Structure 1
Amino acid sequence: MIVLCRMARKCSRRFILASLILIILSYQLILLICTYHEYILAVLPDPPLPVQRRSAEASGSNGTTDGARTRDGRQGESDRGHKEETSPKILCLIVTSPQYHEERAAHVAATWATHCTRAVFLTTAHHPLLPDTLLTSGASTYHQLWDKVTQGFVWAYKQRTEYDWVVKTDDDTFLLVENLQKAVLTLDPDQPQATGLHLRTWETSSTYLNGGAGYVLSRGAVTRLVEEGINGRVCSDHLNFGPGEDVNMADCLTYLGVELLDSRDSSGRQRFHVYPPNKVLDPRQANSFWHLWLKKISVLPYKFGFSEMSKEVISFHYVDAQTMYLLYYLIYFVNPGAASNSTFRSLRESLFHSPEPRRPALLI
């Protein structure tokens, strides 16, 4: 009995000691979390990128508003209205699907799509972050992409008096609309013409326009495509369509006699790109095993490297949301040539007049 009592006392002491240690450790852990919670949150997985729009006042330092360009012939708000009257009208058809509405399409809608004369998202469901959508019934999977795109062009045909050119892109494409407008400025939109990044199919070596980089059809090409190729069933009756939407489009346009235009600039540099800028700018990618396919099937020489980049670039593909905003910021807001109206000032003055008190940064 005495032995049992002694064992009970020892267990009680150990329990009390363990409880005290646990309380102290818990207190230290809570204190640590409260002190360094920002660092702890920093190592957690990032939440989805929010949609970001910049107001006109936010870019006032360079004299422009959201969507206005001033460097290298870019227009400010004062003459933008005149520019829109004289520039070709561009209808942008952007292919997306419900699973990518928030991850991709919403960021396109917040950035470059605002520069189209009209931007319409081809999808199977509405979303509040997509202001203008065309529901493509019965075309919800990748294998039904040809049906989705043709529904978009049939709709565009009905609106043909409102635009000059139609560009089809994906929801991870970045498009410089102004450069596209300049490239087609002297062309007759009523002539059946199309352009983009010219590639060859592996099976037949026939030329097609890569869908990810985006392809452009004149109003005349859209008219012929819809009236003869789709509604008249000329293409479906005489061609064997496969799963590739961009290959089907090029086969149909070629069969209908639509002229394919060289999309490179006057120096022979590509303006439509199947990769994001960080890949295209890297000359090492030219010999990469993963990009040999592009060199093999490119109709015109496709070169990597900074010196091979066109000043008149029109599109990049596989652009994630963060890069979408980065490109949009650098192209439309950064203006090193503008006369700045915001000079450096005293840090003490800034801190004194700051609306929110700022804590000093932790030095490590």
Structure 2
Amino acid sequence: MNTHLRHDYIHACYKISFKRLIIFLFVTTILILFITILFLLINDNDEIEMNLQFASNDFINEDKDFHSFSNFLKENITIFCLIHTSPIYKYSRAIPQKNTWLKRCTKHLFVSVKDDPDLPSIKGNNKDGHEYSNVRVRYGLKYIYENYGDKFDWIYKGDDDNYVIMENLRMFLMNKNPENDYYFGFPIKYLDEKSLPIKYQHGAGFILSKSSLKKLVTKAFTNPKICNDSPDAADDVAFGRCLKNIGIPLSESRDSNNKQMFLPTNIEEASTFNKIRRWEWFKNFSENVILPGYYSLSSFPINFHYVSGDNMYAYEYIFYQANVAGRQNPMFKRPNDGNIEKIYEKMKDYPMMEILRKSMKK
């Protein structure tokens, strides 16, 4: 290669290398800026959530009758709420839950891979990730039983993206005896490895009576032949099988109009008339026929799933702060004279509770 050609070749290589360097520096700068902005936004949200850790439990537009009634229900129907979470969701999910619906539980506790007195949370195992939820939830339920025994009538187990209307849950439970065996949730049918159907709850969280909790911990958890103790077992399926194997099937949880009270998804997905893949999956595997759109939803919904931390506050506003002019809940219409016990008795006779009486007769 002569000197002239060699010079042109080196010059061309230099130009290509220089262009690549410029492109590399440009892309790197953009990535650094993007990561920095993302970091600042996350930190900003974390600071906001940290400041909200001790947010007031008072209602902004407090209805004294409702507030008194809610507390009356809370005192008479005790519910321990166990929430499965991860340290990475402390500020984006757990704190919003704590600031909204969890304050209406009689007592609440998170189970995670880390002890955290702020929530509070207990350490259930060492490996994080939803695939290890079975071992953590088992640990949490066992912890509740061993430390509180039968002090609480009911136990609700949920995830850190569940939102629960506790007054509706207590209304649903008020005519049921926690000394009997109950297991409630959104019903899904699943075929096990032997092609035998298992009916279990999925997505909506589940409710156990104190009798069911005792049997689950003392009979099922102690026998791996009837209750899968594998850390990475699918927890919803595993608990459904465990309870079935000790004679506690999933109980009826629809209202008197056969509408769902425990929802495995959020309001947006369940109420739309468009087809949402995730909601369609639940509908296809549901034991019951689910009507399209909001026609499938109960007038007294209990539980929602896939709710973001921001939407926890949105749900709180819609359910507990917003009003519609001229509209009033039939249970709170006069004449009740603000008498909480009268409202409580009226609730027992409310038409939505008819299904509870039917199931009690079975």
Offset at residue 239 of structure 1 (A): 5.3
Q: 2:285, 2:259 → 1: CA distance?
A: 17
Q: Secondary structure at the match of 1:201?
A: strand
Match of 1:281 in 2: 271
Q: Find the partner of 1:228 among 219, 227, 235.
A: 219
Q: 1:278, 1:142 → 2: CA distance?
A: 24
Give the letter aligned to residue 329 of structure 1: Y
Give the letter aligned to residue 190 of structure 2: T
Q: Secondary structure at the match of 2:145?
A: helix
Higher-Rg member (1/2) = 1
TM-score by length of 1: 0.69
Match of 2:291 in 1: 303
Please, which runs of 5 or more residues in structure 2 have no aligned partner? 1-36, 327-362
1:163 and 1:56, CA in 2 relative to 1: closer, same or farther beyond 3 A? closer
Q: Secondary structure at the match of 2:188?
A: strand
Q: 1:157, 1:253 → 2: CA distance?
A: 16
Q: Find the partner of 2:256 among 241, 246, 266.
A: 266
Please, which runs of 5 or more residues in structure 1 have no aligned partner? 1-40, 65-69, 339-364
- Aligned residue pairs, count: 278
Q: 1:264, 1:82 → 2: CA distance?
A: 24
Deviations 1:250-271 (Å, cap 9, x if unpaired)?
Answer: 0000000014211111100011
1:304 and 1:156, CA in 2 relative to 1: closer, same or farther beyond 3 A? farther
Match of 2:132 in 1: 144
Q: Find the partner of 1:207 among 199, 206, 209.
A: 199
Q: 1:62, 1:289 → 2: CA distance?
A: 39
Give the letter aligned to residue 93 of structure 1: L
- Aligned alpha-carbon RMSD (Å): 2.6
Q: Find the partner of 1:256 among 246, 249, 268.
A: 246
Q: Is the 8 A contact 1:191 1:221 kept in 2?
A: yes
Q: Is the 8 A contact 2:116 2:122 kept in 1?
A: no
1:283 and 1:182, CA in 2 relative to 1: closer, same or farther beyond 3 A? same
Offset at residue 336 of structure 1 (A): 4.5
1:290 and 1:109, CA in 2 relative to 1: closer, same or farther beyond 3 A? closer
Q: Secondary structure at the match of 1:162?
A: coil
Match of 1:167 in 2: 156
- Residue 219, structure 1, aligned to residue 216, structure 2: no
Q: 2:133, 2:106 → 1: CA distance?
A: 24
Offset at residue 128 of structure 1 (A): 5.8
Q: 1:157, 1:57 → 2: CA distance?
A: 31
Q: Find the partner of 1:48 among 45, 48, 58.
A: 45
Give the letter aligned to residue 78 of structure 2: K
1:57 and 1:181, CA in 2 relative to 1: closer, same or farther beyond 3 A? closer
Offset at residue 326 of structure 1 (A): 0.5
Offset at residue 172 of structure 1 (A): 0.5
Give the letter aligned to residue 244 of structure 1: A
Give the letter aligned to residue 281 of structure 1: S
Offset at residue 54 of structure 1 (A): 5.5
Match of 1:134 in 2: 122
Match of 1:360 in 2: none
1:97 and 1:188, CA in 2 relative to 1: closer, same or farther beyond 3 A? same
1:56 and 1:133, CA in 2 relative to 1: closer, same or farther beyond 3 A? closer
Offset at residue 166 of structure 1 (A): 0.5
Q: Is the 8 A contact 1:94 1:120 kept in 2?
A: yes
Give the letter aligned to residue 195 of structure 1: F
Deviations 1:194-252 (Å, cap 9, x if unpaired)?
Answer: 01001022554421111x31111100100100111113x1xx12456672101000000
Q: Is the 8 A contact 1:196 1:272 kept in 2?
A: yes
Q: Runs in 1 of length 4+ with deviation above 6 angstroms? A: none
1:202 and 1:179, CA in 2 relative to 1: closer, same or farther beyond 3 A? same
Q: Is the 8 A contact 1:62 1:335 kept in 2?
A: no
Q: 1:248, 1:283 → 2: CA distance?
A: 33
1:283 and 1:250, CA in 2 relative to 1: closer, same or farther beyond 3 A? same
Q: 1:262, 1:150 → 2: CA distance?
A: 24
Offset at residue 56 of structure 1 (A): 6.4
Match of 1:243 in 2: 233
Q: Secondary structure at the match of 1:76?
A: helix
Offset at residue 275 of structure 1 (A): 1.2
Q: Is the 8 A contact 2:265 2:279 kept in 1?
A: no
